[in-house]
Amino acid sequence: MKWVGSIFLIFLLNFTESRTPHRNEYGIASILDSYQCTAEINLTDLATIFFAQFIQEATYMEVSKMVKDVLTAIEKPAGEEQSAGCLENQLPAFLEEMCHEKEILEKYGLSDCCSQSEEERHSCFLAHKKPTPTSMQLFQVPEPVVSCEAYEEDRETFMNKYIYEIARRHPFLYAPTILLLAARYDKIIPSCCKVENAVECFQTKGASITKELRENSLFNQHACAVMKNFGLQTFQAITITKLSQKFTKVNFTEIRKLVLDVAHVHEHCCRGDVVDCLQDGEKIISYICSQQDTLSNKIAECCKLTTLERGHCVINAENDEKPEGLSPNLNRFLGDKDFNQFSSEEKNIFLASYVHEYSRRHPQLAVSIILRVAEGYQELLEKCFQTENPLECQDKREEELQKYIQESQALAKQSCGLFRKLGEYYLQNVFLIAYTKKAPQLTSSELVAITRKMAATAATCCQLSEDELLACGEGAADIIIGHLCIRHDTTPVNPGVGQCCTSSYANRRPCFGSLVVDETYVPPAFSGDKFIFHKDLCQTEGLALHTMIQEFLINLVKQKPQITEEQLGAVTADFAGMLEKCCQGQEQEVCLAEEGQQLISKSRAALGV
């Protein structure tokens, strides 16, 4: 997308270089300069989050030592005044403390970072963050008896250990979210410890916390990856779309101010700057709540909540209704002005205002669709103002912008049609075959996990109204594809995936849709070991059986990515026949060995592998 890369650059001058009060060249004051911090800040928990996320394999004792040392270092000297609890720019102190602990860094392979300059040192530590360290097991809350006793004896330490365990397993999860979910967990412990069936109580009440933890971790990692790979300006283009959809009555000037600060807070959070992430986020929410009468009528209840809760509530609040009298379309939005005569800055401001106006008229559309429309609109203007009659050209071609919405609607209709016809499992198999062809370099478990999420998305979104369907499907696809791109960043998949992941944020989903078969992939030599069938195929049920069958499909497609639907249909029919025959007999293992060999021989001959 041409304009996204620079659209907000003019709004950012000098901002990211300094935390001192500022105004940019358009006189837009930052909310962050005018709102005070809350005094309700637990530095021990914040420091625990920081060290646990950056040195994920460190023990609780090691993290606690670093927390104690850094708090001593940044403790406010007696008599020094600080604005309402604000602790700005503490990141260097945290980084310095890590580098002070040479033995710990050496133990976990991070010591090389400290030989670099401050900014490079920070980037080095960030690069070592791993979504799920292989050496770390899933966190299990201790048995209720043990938990309840430990909580009662020392609630503060118990909750700090919980924060440590969550933070080290979710290194990209924003600090305010960790504190919020920890606070919710803190509330359920006393009630669950009093009931007879404490295990069931913890499982039931803790399920929603676990779900939010997993979802928010994915969202935060995705947001940070978008910012890293496409730049802060692209992230701001996304933000202006979301805020304009949520606060539909707000003018462009106010939205522009919010965008400047919201994106800056995300930047702090993605950098692991836990203090500024929390404090600056609270400032923005305080400002939004103070202006709720003019911003939105959907957030009144949110603003009555605790400091931690209201931010989460505002973010997830419904979009405001479209204001009365808003024209249904933006035909001739530019008027008779010559777009090609605009300066670069004027083009950026105009296109930003177009996104704002389009978004508030279409709060039901996914962000990526709106950004595709904006890109199309820019191309339209550039071409029309090279013609003899630009206005007539605009009138004819503005209708073409509907193609971006229609393409998404057609895809949603197709996916939901398949879902209703096939069901979730068989729809997953359709996705599985397609993505094995697109990215055969992925492991079986990766392909199964990705396509299971795709099928689950269809199961959820296809139940919604037509207005809600597009945003649901496109939004979920953006997250799923985004995490595939994060995987590609770590270990490159193939050139096609790389092109889709890096060329355009707005067009990532259509780009993946256009991929068919990776022509660079060379199938491995045939190995019979991947096609040996055992009696557990007959004895397994549900998800485990489905996964076994899917692994067979993956291995088959990886052997010949150009396999046709007819060939695949014939092989799967033979496979189903083999199961039906062998699973009804007594000698299942012998039958599967014999019939399996015949199946593979027949399939190899048909496929030419």
pLDDT, tens digit, 9 for 90 and up, residues 563-590: 998 988 888 888 889 988 898 888 888 9
Neighbouring-strand partners of residue 23: 29
Rounded to whole angstroms, how far apart are CA atoms 241 and 225?
18
- Collapsing DSSP to helix, strand or coil, 143 comes out as coil
pLDDT higher at 1 or 605: 605
pLDDT higher at 241 or 344: 241
Could you tell me which CATH number the domain at 38-74+87-213 has? Answer: 1.10.246.10
pLDDT higher at 458 or 543: 458
Q: Which two tokens stand for residue 431?
A: 């996705």
Could you tell me which CATH number the domain at 528-607 has? Answer: 1.10.246
Using CB atoms within 10 Å of the CB of residue 277, give its burial: 0 to 12 exposed, 13 to 18 middle, 19+ buried: buried
Give the pLDDT mean for 345-350: 84
Would the annotation count 529 as a binding residue? no
Residues 563/519, Cβ–Cβ less than 8 Å = no
Rounded to whole angstroms, how far apart are CA atoms 250 and 254?
7
Q: pLDDT digit string (tens) for 490-504?
A: 899 999 999 999 999
- Collapsing DSSP to helix, strand or coil, 23 comes out as strand
Q: Torsion angle, CA of 310/314/318/320, rounded to 10 degrees?
A: 120
What is each CA distance from 527 to 61, 600, 606, in whole angstroms? Answer: 49, 11, 16
pTM (2 decimals)?
0.88
154-183 burial code (b ≥16 CB/10 A, e <16): eeeebbbbbbbbbbbbbbbbbbbbbbbbbe
Same fold, 231-363 and 528-607: yes
Give the pLDDT mean for 320-326: 87
Per-residue confidence (pLDDT) for residue 136, from 0 to 100: 59
The domain segmentation of the chain, as residue ranges, is: 38-74+87-213, 231-363, 411-514, 528-607
Rounded to whole angstroms, how far apart are CA atoms 109 and 196?
46
From the options 3.40.225.10, 1.10.3730.10, 1.10.246.10, 1.10.3720.10, give the CATH code of 411-514: 1.10.246.10
Q: Which fold has domain 231-363?
A: Serum Albumin; Chain A, Domain 1 (1.10.246)
pLDDT higher at 66 or 21: 66
pLDDT at residue 609 is higher than 70: yes
Sign of dihedral through CA atoms 536, 537, 542, 546?
Answer: positive
